[in-house]
Amino acid sequence: MINPLHDCIINKNTTNNPIWFMRQAGRYLPEFQKIRKLNPNFINLCLNQNLASEITLQPLRRFDLSAAIIFSDILMVPYALDQKVNFKKNFGPELEDFNIKNLIEFNKKEFIEKLKPIYNCIKKTKSNNLLRNKNLIGFIGAPWTLLVYMINKKSPKKEISKNFFNNKDLINNILKVLDKFLKIHVENQINNGADIIQIFDSWAGLLDEKDLYKYVYNPTLSIVNFIKKKNVPVICFPRGIKNYKNYIECVKPDAICIDYEVDPLLIKKEITIPVQGGLNPNILLSDKENVKKEALKYLDIFKDHPYIFNLGHGVLPETNPMMIDYLVKFVNDY
């Protein structure tokens, strides 16, 4: 039997709307909070294959979703390249200095070894009965977004520092290293059972149009081509980008994930490939009537277009799981 998400992306099927959520495995679920309380070190939690697998499956025990997304983090790649990463409460990730020479000479075997628990977790999760006829999504951060974290050493929030582009050699070397190791990371996820890959470019919106080719389009295209050769569909999420049409023409993903600041009517008019997402996560903090109205807007706009229901960003921590339950049932009944 064909999985609905796969069917929508590959066969451009418009008869159903697969549904999953970015950050569906995590902080809004009481069962996750329980595990998190006992495991304060976030990196170690991502590397605990049994717990990470359990967290990945938690939302599928509650909701009739079309896919699971592996519980991990985009910053596991800098971590595996020996740049120390620490997650601080109410602050976010904090990265330490790195040595570019060590980065360039970094050993592939050592990298895979450090991330082995993630690949084991994917394998374990894939064999679970809850995933029968459902997809397992693996993911990576896009080269540009990881570059931002590695140089900036924290979330840039609104802008990157004035001197960010000063050291062109450093930037080019990091991008080369990321191209190599992101492909290794993706390949190992696919080999262990990830059957769709999503590329998160969380900070694509920080760049001017003129810089997108060098830092977003070309580096991401290299990874997208690599994934396609593995016969696995790839979804790209260039958050905050102004021109989705341009992005798609240059990067050529199988599906595009849109954020909540983009006009879905314009997307429908300009884009032929399957579309995912769009709903503002804040809507889930309101009431059922509002959730229904906003969800209907996206479902109606994309009713003759291959469309995957998702949010325009991750589920917020303060979301009531009952609202997710309501939304999933509403979309599945549409």
| Interstrand relation of 275-277 and 85-88 (parallel, antiparallel or unpaired) | unpaired
* Element at 85 (helix H, strand E): strand 85-88
Tokens describing residue 1: 């039997």
Tokens describing residue 302: 């994309």
Q: Where are the domains of the chain?
A: 4-333
Quote the pTM value. 0.98
Q: What pLDDT tens digit does each residue of the chain (334 aa) get?
A: 678 999 999 999 999 999 999 999 999 999 999 999 999 999 999 999 999 999 999 999 999 999 999 999 999 999 999 999 999 887 889 999 999 999 999 999 999 999 999 999 999 999 999 999 999 999 999 999 999 999 999 999 877 888 899 999 999 999 999 999 999 999 999 999 999 999 999 999 999 999 999 999 999 999 999 999 999 999 999 999 999 999 999 999 999 999 999 999 999 999 999 999 999 999 999 999 999 999 999 999 999 999 999 999 999 999 999 999 999 999 999 9
How many whole angstroms from its chain centre is CA 272?
21
Distance CA 83, CA 171 (A): 15
Q: What is the CATH number of domain 4-333?
A: 3.20.20.210
CB neighbour burial string for 181-203, b if at least 16 within 10 angstroms, e if fewer: bbbebbbbbbebbbbbbbbbbbb
Backbone φ/ψ region at 82: left (φ over 0), alpha (ψ -120 to 50), beta: left
CA nearest 141: which of 181, 104, 173?
181
Three-state secondary structure of 260-325: CCCCHHHHHHHCCCCEEECECHHHHHCCHHHHHHHHHHHHHHCCCCCEEECECCCCCCCCCHHHHH
